[in-house]
């Protein structure tokens, strides 16, 4: 599965299932498994694991890469919360364009504003 416009722009294919922890690989990204470990540690609130993986990223990829990865995790963690808090709805065109991907990844079930059984399609 291509990662939306990023994959179309670069011609690269990424395994989104791996990126959200439903797969078993590295997402097709360089150092993807290590970066997934970082995301999982941060999102689990596991300080010791986060520190260990953070140090491994610094050793293997450099401090700038670790900072970039941490910034991406922070951004992707806050954007949906901001949208949810302000009540920003998913636009109809985006709902239609992402319906298959959301269903495949189970993303609709993660939205706290929906009632049980409600979908965005």
pLDDT in tens, 66-106: 999 999 999 988 887 787 788 787 788 888 888 888 888 77
* pLDDT at residue number 66: 96
Quickly list H helices, 11-119.
16-19, 32-44, 47-61, 63-86, 92-105
Phi and psi torsions of 112, nearest 5°: -75, -15
What gap in Å lies between CA 16 and CA 1, rounded to an integer? 7
As given in the structure block, the two tokens for residue 26 are 């590295």
> What value does the CA radius of gyration of the chain take, rounded to a whole number of Å?
16
What gap in Å lies between CA 7 and CA 10, rounded to an integer? 5
Chain segment 23-64, per-residue pLDDT in tens: 555 556 778 889 989 988 998 889 999 999 999 999 999 999
Is the pTM above the cut of 0.75?
no
């Amino acid at each position: 599965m291509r990662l939306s416009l990023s994959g179309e722009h670069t011609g690269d294919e990424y395994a989104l299932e791996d990126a959200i922890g439903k797969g078993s690989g590295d997402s097709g990204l360089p150092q993807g498994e290590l970066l997934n470990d970082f995301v999982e540690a941060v999102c689990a609130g596991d300080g010791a694991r986060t520190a260990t993986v953070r140090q491994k990223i610094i050793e293997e990829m450099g401090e700038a890469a670790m900072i970039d990865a941490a910034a991406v995790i922070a951004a992707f963690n806050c954007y949906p919360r901001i949208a949810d808090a302000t009540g920003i709805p998913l636009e109809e065109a985006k709902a239609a364009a992402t319906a298959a991907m959301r269903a495949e990844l189970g993303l609709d079930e993660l939205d706290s504003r929906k009632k049980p059984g409600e979908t965005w399609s």
